Amino acid sequence: MALWIDISVSKHQLKLYDASTLLKEYPIAIGKILTPTPTGNYMISNKEENPGGPFGVLWMGLSKPHYGIHGTNDPSSIGKSVSHGCIRMQNDDVVELSNMVPLGTNVYIHP
């Protein structure tokens, strides 16, 4: 499998691909204007269950320090531009995604 994650900040959407085949699509929250989600190519560098605070049930850190894909303690924020730059997902969604992607998975973030 050649899994990779495509994140569209303008569409508030995360897609999981195996090569060119779309496997799954999720709604996300992204960074607000003053703390935008950084665009570029990154990798999932670590995972942590129950990180506490606003990060929901799971944190997947990106190769860009201090940024990650994580759950939320505020499900109503999904679909909005409200974070400090991280990608926020529903808790069930982030657990499902984490179970599918290994460390080192490429993450492409674009407008």
- Active site positions, annotated: 70, 86
Distance CA 2, CA 56 (A): 28
Q: DSSP label at 1? A: -
Three-state SS string over 66-111 comes to CCEEECCCCHHHCCCEEECCCEECCHHHHHHHHHHCCCCCEEEEEC
For residues 19 and 13, what is the distance between their CA atoms, to the nearest angstrom? 18
Radius of gyration of the chain from Cα atoms? 12
